[in-house]
Chain A
Amino acid sequence: MINKRPTFWLTFLVLAAACCLLVVLGATPDVAASSKKTKNPPKPPARVFPDGTPWVPVDQVAALKRAHEPVPPLVMDVLIESPMERQLRLNGKAPSLKDAPYRYMVLDSPILKHKDDPFDDLYGPVRFMHLKHAAEVHDCLVCHHYRPKAEHASETTRCSACHQQPFNPAVPGRLGLKAAYHQKCIECHKKRERGPVDCKGCHEKRVPDHSKLVKLPDHPEPITVTRECLRCHDREATNMLTSAHWLWHGPSPYTVGHEDQFVLGKGTNTINNFCIAVKSNWPRCTSCHAGYGWKDADFDFSDKTRMDCLICHDTTGNYYKAPPAAGMPFPQIDLKPIAEHVGKPSRKTCGDCHFQGGGGDAVKHGDMNSVLYYPTRNCDVHMGGMDFQCHECHKTRNHKISGRSLSVPVAEGSRSCEDCHGDKPHKYHSGKGHEDHNLLNHHLNEHSQHIYCQTCHSPVYAKCKPTKVWWDWSKAGDKKRKAKKDKYGMPDYVWKKGEFRWVESAKPAYAWYNGRVKRVIIGQKVDPARGVIRLTEPVGAIWDRKSRIFPFKIMRGKQMYDPENGYLIVPHLFGPDGYWKTLDWQKSFEIGMQAAGLPYSGQYSWVETAMYWGLNHETMPAENALGCAQCHPALNGEQTCNRCHKDTRHLDFKRLAHRGTDFAAMKAKGRDVGALIGQTDYLNFKALGYKGDPIVYGGRFTTIPLGGSVKAQNTSQ
């Protein structure tokens, strides 16, 4: 795109001159030296499905289509009756969940739009979980409070049939649609002390058009852009000063032994088994820092002009940081049009860093990669089905972004599936021909006390792109060794880094997890003689009521260890004296450990480490979650639900128990899940501490009511 601009060459010359100047001044030798050979910035991801067809978030599009349907004529005559009168009239035939035609809606009726109003566009439409509300309130008539007088009309006529434009003299006192929504929602949320009552709790606030507000010269310097942002947004920048994305450290409330500290973080003292640690490798690692020029230990974290606002607020898709340039953007990019189109973060802005963790696409996270820019519904139901942006779940306040993980200790607030879906997430959504779901939903909701949602709803990780699961640094340095490609086309070797293994659509490791994490930090004594060193590890146990089963990617590898001092080593990798230039480990360790502020004995060895990574994204649609029989061997024989439930009228127990993740269909689509087809005991009950299938042996706190006789029944048949 940039190449098309007529001013490109002029720009290039100016920037090239600027770079030269930098070199001359010696301001940022690493940065300047590397920018000499920087390539062109990448192109923004194409809005297409993997097969090249245009990307459509199906559920969102369907919901919007319904919302934008032509407005029906206003219902003039309403049947006004008290709830009691209505119940009597309905005589037990009140509408119920099975009458709810739509799970998900977007409240965006054309009635709410008044193009002439200068305040029409303040807030975006509201995502509305219709079925969830119906199930929670358990009475359709709470919202569908009156009905039209006309007899043929539905008992649950849509809101906009009666509530349209406000102040209609033909129906004095009738609320308009906007007020009807707001009054009902707010009143009920207040009464139940559940659900948001503030504007931003339901709506996305729209960012005003900045093209007239931003005043910048052509081809501004990054810091000039930030200064311009600060002209109006000093308060935001002040909030940013204490944020994890700026400091790379922060509160660690879930890390055992560090609960009330504000020091842990990748900028300070965490260590991993990918590129090990940030210290001494700043310009490379900090190319994902929301700032400009963190190239050494002297970076000034109080200087707001060093913040990079565009990395999160770009909406053009054209803003890219140059990989080893300490957070500086590609010099070719003209920042003016980008600054003029700032807005809310998106999957693109978050993903540009978070999909690329570990130095490449899908390397670190088992559940996040470039596929999520425009995923299919099956890849991630929220992002692919409903076009969720990251910050819609990771609610942000004062530039503190909620969410937590195992890989990094910093948590500025926690998010869980239950925040939106409730602790009984399986709705009694029967509908005609699905009467059996009530039975299933009851049991699934019981499961929520023992397993996290992710366990069933993310049955495989790296579903759409291979992720790295093994990294052996001890093998690095062999420039002659040729990399072999594995079955996914991924290399098994890079001389700078060592040996790799990758997996795709892999079964997670399952463990009990109560939300707390054990973590090794830089300088902490570890003993390889006691087995593989676990850099991060979930805390939990089968007997702990707060623990539930959670799926993990386990990253394994070999890394450097100082046997004299008994701790892991921080290597210096990047830069003129780094290992990637010198191939000299001793020198690399000396410099790295000096930067980490720790003595290095001069001795080193290679030790095996493991790191648990939580799997929270790539959520499967409900119909593709793990099914009963896929985990419970006891349901794979002759008997299924009829082990306990004797009444089989209307219910096809077999069908019910054998629904679940369709691995065969996934395989047909090219996913590497052949080994998972037809599996049972998917989670491995024994490994989790059960005696065996809880249906036979009992749960962790209870036994199945008919448990004792189950075995006998089975054998006698």
Chain B
Amino acid sequence: MELSRRGFFKVMGASGAALAATPGKAKATWKSKAPPDAYGCLVDLGRCIGCRKCELACNKVNGLPEPEKPFDDVTVFNQRRRPDDKAFTVVNRYYTGRTDERNQPKPTFVKVQCMHCQDPACASACITGALHKNENGAVTWNPAKCIGCRYCMVACPFQIPAYEYSNPITPRVRKCTFCFDRISEEGGTPGCAAICPVEAITFGRRSELLKLAHQRIKRDPVNYVQHVYGEKEVGGTSWLYISQVPFEKIDSYNMPTRQIPKLTETIQHTIFSYLWAPITLFGILGGAMWTLNRQQITGKSGPGKEKEDRS
């Protein structure tokens, strides 16, 4: 059931291998570049009340355009949303079958944004180094370096980077910045974490957050799924999630624990070593991505794709 993603990477692995003349060598030389003391955020879905204040804060701190529907409008939950160039984070609502004391369906709210992977696929796919994993953990985009190839969008396993298609002159790649400027300051916190009224988002050093996350799920085994999402997924992410409902029920893809760059870089290096035009890579990656997306849209891909809302 969890095949779609994994299937994709298998495909990728296969094509990479097929293309690679010396795959074994490339694999052997790959090394994680994860910063040792990265910041992170622990999102506790058991705490989130779906107030959408994080969306509002993100909009304000990043100077994003006013949304069509105000941030206190809960009707947006009737659709599943994705972060885009006008909203770096969105909160979605899931009814997973849980009920409350009055037998009413109990929602689970899930905040979505860039995971700030420890070894980000987006950065490694970027041929100019426009996307960069900073020492503090933030994966940021540098407009001066970006050539608009959009490899990052294809490479990101979470489909995060968004492109300003509506801006033909100076289109930018947009995504959560982990509030790079704010957290670079002494005592600074990301906008979303600062505003969250219930501290559903805990900001801190990733290593500390991991401890905290394990502590919390261990203390409440009745309610919490005993898994810290992002600890191992795609080799680890700066943003971590703990949840009271199984992760596959809330659209979190069942990610491989391998670092994606290990794979993509292998492909890339191979390609480049054969001087293949980037467009070819784009084609392959894009093709695979397209297949995957089709599967998701048609609902063929397994777990937790509960598109209907019982609100």
Interfacial residues, chain A to chain B (CB-CB below 8 A): 114, 117-119, 122, 165-167, 169, 172-173, 175-176, 178-179, 182-183, 186, 199
Known A179-B197, A186-B198; contact A169-B60, beta-carbon cutoff 8 A: no
Which residues of chain A are near B110, meaning CB under 8 Å?
Answer: none
Tell me if B51 counts as interface (CB < 8 A to partner A). yes
B204 x A183 contact (CB < 8 A): no
B211 x A166 contact (CB < 8 A): no
In the complex the two chains form, what is the Cα distance from A178 to B200 in whole Å?
A: 12
Which residues of chain B are near A183, meaning CB under 8 Å?
Answer: 47, 198-199
Which residues of chain B are near A182, meaning CB under 8 Å?
Answer: 197-198
Tell me if B150 counts as interface (CB < 8 A to partner A). no
Tell me if B49 counts as interface (CB < 8 A to partner A). yes
Which residues of chain A are near B195, meaning CB under 8 Å?
Answer: 117, 119
28 A-B pairs within 8 Å (CB atoms) are namely A114-B194, A117-B191, A118-B60, A118-B61, A119-B53, A119-B60, A119-B195, A166-B193, A166-B194, A166-B202, A167-B202, A167-B203, A167-B204, A169-B204, A169-B205, A172-B211, A172-B212, A173-B202, A173-B212, A173-B216, A175-B199, A178-B197, A183-B47, A183-B198, A183-B199, A186-B49, A186-B198, A199-B51
Q: Which of A119, A166, A169, A199 contacts B208 (CB 8 A)?
A: A169
Which residues of chain A are near B308, meaning CB under 8 Å?
Answer: none
Specify the chain A residue showing the minimal Cβ separation from B200.
A179
Tell me if B242 counts as interface (CB < 8 A to partner A). no
B209 to chain A, nearest CB (A): 9
Additional 11 contacts, C-beta under 8 A, given A118-B60, A173-B216: A117-B191, A166-B194, A166-B203, A167-B189, A169-B204, A172-B212, A173-B202, A175-B199, A179-B197, A182-B198, A183-B199
Q: Is the interface of A mostly helix, strand, loop or mixed?
A: loop
A166 x B189 contact (CB < 8 A): yes
Which residues of chain A are near B51, meaning CB under 8 Å?
Answer: 199
Chain B residues 195-237 with CB under 8 Å of chain A are 195-199, 202-205, 208, 211-212, 215-216
Tell me if B57 counts as interface (CB < 8 A to partner A). yes
Which residues of chain A are near B189, meaning CB under 8 Å?
Answer: 166-167
Chain B residues 118-147 with CB under 8 Å of chain A are none
In the complex the two chains form, what is the Cα distance from A119 to B197 in whole Å?
A: 12
Known A179-B196, A183-B47, A183-B199; contact A119-B204, beta-carbon cutoff 8 A: no
A114 to chain B, nearest CB (A): 7
Which 9 A-B residue pairings sit nearest by Cβ, starting from the closest?
Answer: A179-B199, A118-B60, A182-B197, A167-B203, A182-B198, A119-B57, A119-B60, A173-B212, A183-B198
Which residues of chain B are near A172, meaning CB under 8 Å?
Answer: 204, 208, 211-212
Chain B positions 43 through 58: 1 when the CB is less than 8 Å from some CB of chain A, otherwise 0: 0000101010100110
Tell me if B72 counts as interface (CB < 8 A to partner A). yes
Specify the chain A residue showing the minimal Cβ separation from B215.
A173
A108 to chain B, nearest CB (A): 15
Which residues of chain A are near B49, meaning CB under 8 Å?
Answer: 186
In the complex the two chains form, what is the Cα distance from A178 to B197 in whole Å?
A: 6
In the complex the two chains form, what is the Cα distance from A186 to B53 in whole Å?
A: 16
In the complex the two chains form, what is the Cα distance from A173 to B210 in whole Å?
A: 11
Which residues of chain B are near A119, meaning CB under 8 Å?
Answer: 53, 56-57, 60-61, 191, 195
A117 x B194 contact (CB < 8 A): yes
Specify the chain B residue showing the minimal Cβ separation from A172.
B208
Chain B positions 34 through 71: 1 when the CB is less than 8 Å from some CB of chain A, otherwise 0: 00000000000001010101001100110000000000
Which residues of chain B are near A199, meaning CB under 8 Å?
Answer: 51, 72, 197
Which residues of chain B are near A114, meaning CB under 8 Å?
Answer: 194
In the complex the two chains form, what is the Cα distance from A79 to B51 in whole Å?
A: 32
B193 x A167 contact (CB < 8 A): yes
Interfacial residues, chain B to chain A (CB-CB below 8 A): 47, 49, 51, 53, 56-57, 60-61, 72, 187, 189, 191, 193-199, 202-205, 208, 211-212, 215-216
In the complex the two chains form, what is the Cα distance from A166 to B200 in whole Å?
A: 11
A212 to chain B, nearest CB (A): 13
In the complex the two chains form, what is the Cα distance from A199 to B189 in whole Å?
A: 23
Which residues of chain A are near B205, meaning CB under 8 Å?
Answer: 169
B71 to chain A, nearest CB (A): 10
Which residues of chain B are near A117, meaning CB under 8 Å?
Answer: 57, 61, 191, 194-195
In the complex the two chains form, what is the Cα distance from A117 to B196 in whole Å?
A: 13
Which residues of chain A are near B198, meaning CB under 8 Å?
Answer: 179, 182-183, 186
B132 to chain A, nearest CB (A): 24
Q: Which of B199, B212, B216 contacts A166 (CB 8 A)?
A: B199
In the complex the two chains form, what is the Cα distance from A309 to B195 in whole Å?
A: 31
In the complex the two chains form, what is the Cα distance from A118 to B181 in whole Å?
A: 14
In the complex the two chains form, what is the Cα distance from A182 to B196 in whole Å?
A: 10
Specify the chain A residue showing the minimal Cβ separation from B56.
A119
A344 to chain B, nearest CB (A): 16
Which residues of chain A are near B215, meaning CB under 8 Å?
Answer: 173
Specify the chain A residue showing the minimal Cβ separation from B70.
A235
In the complex the two chains form, what is the Cα distance from A96 to B235 in whole Å?
A: 53
Specify the chain A residue showing the minimal Cβ separation from B189.
A167
In the complex the two chains form, what is the Cα distance from A165 to B61 in whole Å?
A: 20
Which residues of chain B are near A186, meaning CB under 8 Å?
Answer: 49, 198
In the complex the two chains form, what is the Cα distance from A176 to B202 in whole Å?
A: 10
Specify the chain A residue showing the minimal Cβ separation from B41.
A167
In the complex the two chains form, what is the Cα distance from A165 to B203 in whole Å?
A: 12
In the complex the two chains form, what is the Cα distance from A206 to B203 in whole Å?
A: 27
In the complex the two chains form, what is the Cα distance from A179 to B203 in whole Å?
A: 13
Specify the chain A residue showing the minimal Cβ separation from B209.
A172
In the complex the two chains form, what is the Cα distance from A165 to B193 in whole Å?
A: 12
In the complex the two chains form, what is the Cα distance from A199 to B191 in whole Å?
A: 19
A132 to chain B, nearest CB (A): 22
Which residues of chain B are near A173, meaning CB under 8 Å?
Answer: 202, 212, 215-216
Specify the chain B residue showing the minimal Cβ separation from A179.
B199
In the complex the two chains form, what is the Cα distance from A165 to B212 in whole Å?
A: 17
A142 to chain B, nearest CB (A): 18
Specify the chain B residue showing the minimal Cβ separation from A199.
B51
In the complex the two chains form, what is the Cα distance from A121 to B229 in whole Å?
A: 34
A382 to chain B, nearest CB (A): 27
In the complex the two chains form, what is the Cα distance from A118 to B193 in whole Å?
A: 14
B278 to chain A, nearest CB (A): 39
B257 to chain A, nearest CB (A): 26
B65 to chain A, nearest CB (A): 15
Specify the chain B residue showing the minimal Cβ separation from A173.
B212
Which residues of chain B are near A176, meaning CB under 8 Å?
Answer: 199
A692 to chain B, nearest CB (A): 48
Which residues of chain B are near A179, meaning CB under 8 Å?
Answer: 196-199
Which residues of chain A are near B191, meaning CB under 8 Å?
Answer: 117, 119
A240 to chain B, nearest CB (A): 18
In the complex the two chains form, what is the Cα distance from A183 to B46 in whole Å?
A: 11
Specify the chain A residue showing the minimal Cβ separation from B187.
A165
In the complex the two chains form, what is the Cα distance from A165 to B199 in whole Å?
A: 11
A169 to chain B, nearest CB (A): 6
A255 to chain B, nearest CB (A): 34
Specify the chain A residue showing the minimal Cβ separation from B199.
A179
Which residues of chain A are near B61, meaning CB under 8 Å?
Answer: 117-119
Which residues of chain A are near B53, meaning CB under 8 Å?
Answer: 119, 122
Which residues of chain B are near A167, meaning CB under 8 Å?
Answer: 189, 193, 202-204
Q: Give the residue among A122, A167, A173 with the most B Cβ atoms within 10 A.
A: A167
In the complex the two chains form, what is the Cα distance from A520 to B249 in whole Å?
A: 61
Specify the chain A residue showing the minimal Cβ separation from B211.
A172
In the complex the two chains form, what is the Cα distance from A182 to B51 in whole Å?
A: 12
In the complex the two chains form, what is the Cα distance from A119 to B61 in whole Å?
A: 8
In the complex the two chains form, what is the Cα distance from A183 to B208 in whole Å?
A: 22
In the complex the two chains form, what is the Cα distance from A208 to B14 in whole Å?
A: 56
Specify the chain A residue showing the minimal Cβ separation from B57.
A119
Specify the chain A residue showing the minimal Cβ separation from B202.
A167
Which residues of chain A are near B208, meaning CB under 8 Å?
Answer: 169, 172
Which residues of chain A are near B72, meaning CB under 8 Å?
Answer: 199
Specify the chain A residue showing the minimal Cβ separation from B51.
A199
B37 to chain A, nearest CB (A): 12
In the complex the two chains form, what is the Cα distance from A114 to B193 in whole Å?
A: 13
Specify the chain B residue showing the minimal Cβ separation from A197.
B49
In the complex the two chains form, what is the Cα distance from A122 to B196 in whole Å?
A: 13
In the complex the two chains form, what is the Cα distance from A122 to B194 in whole Å?
A: 13
Which residues of chain A are near B193, meaning CB under 8 Å?
Answer: 166-167
